[in-house]
Amino acid sequence: MKDFKAVIFDLDGVITDTARYHYLAWKRLAEAEGVHFDEAFNEHLKGIDRMGSLELILASSPRSYTDAQKLALATAKNEHYKELIATMTPADLLPGAVDALDACRAAGLKIGLASVSRNAFTVLDSLGITGKFDYVVDAGTIARGKPDPEIFLKAAHELGVPPADCFGVEDAVAGVASIKAAGMYAIGVGDPRVLAQADVVIPDLAAFALD
């Protein structure tokens, strides 16, 4: 790993498990719209931005929606999600997260965050780790979500490091695809059978090691 100059982490499912709060918020919305929503359905939303996730859910709805109605539903989901994450603390950091960030800093790597959440800064503040990142890219600053490479390319640009000198850390198929499309080395966090496009897969950040 000595040739890399920067690392770009995903947030949800890597640093902390906000995924469960998204799941609860989407489930309430989906069922209110007559759509069955379970863990299997939720897997298809991982790494997808808010409006993209909403479109996938509403595709299974018996109703039709105007753009204004879709925006209202997305806003309602986000308000519920913000209520849920308001209770987060540093205890919600996933195992190994802080050690991984500190190891990257000690190795002289620049550290970025690439999150499709528009609430990334709120979550980082709640977790007490905002200062561990040199630059944060969230959904509010990009035009295209994962698997498009834009979010990782923007992070690399803002860190001042060529994409080829960066590696990304992701738990979602769309996220890994985004890293690879950006021309970066990809570390997957989760199941190697699911994250087959990653260059290497670890079970969680407790297994993260720069060597």
Question: For residue 81, is it within any domain?
Answer: yes
Domain that holds residue 33: 19-85
The series of mean pLDDT values per 10 residues for the chain, 211 residues long, is 88 90 94 94 84 94 94 95 91 97 97 91 94 93 92 98 97 95 98 96 96 80
Are 102 and 196 part of one and the same domain?
Answer: yes
Are 72 and 98 part of one and the same domain?
Answer: no
- At 156 the pLDDT is 98
Find out whether 184 and 152 touch, Cβ atoms under 8 Å: yes
Are 54 and 130 part of one and the same domain?
Answer: no
Question: For residue 1, is it within any domain?
Answer: no
**Which positions are annotated as active-site residues?**
10, 12
Are 125 and 190 part of one and the same domain?
Answer: yes
CA distance 23 to 45: 9
Close Cβ partners of 54 (under 8 Å, ≥ 6 residues apart):
29, 70, 73, 74, 77
Extract the annotated binding site. Answer: 10-12, 26, 45-50, 53, 77, 115-119, 146, 170-171
Are 139 and 63 part of one and the same domain?
Answer: no
Are 200 and 98 part of one and the same domain?
Answer: yes
Domains contained in the chain, number: 2
Extract the annotated binding site for substrate. Answer: 10-12, 26, 45-50, 53, 77, 115-119, 146
Are 63 and 149 part of one and the same domain?
Answer: no
Q: Say which CATH number the domain at 190 has.
A: 3.40.50.1000
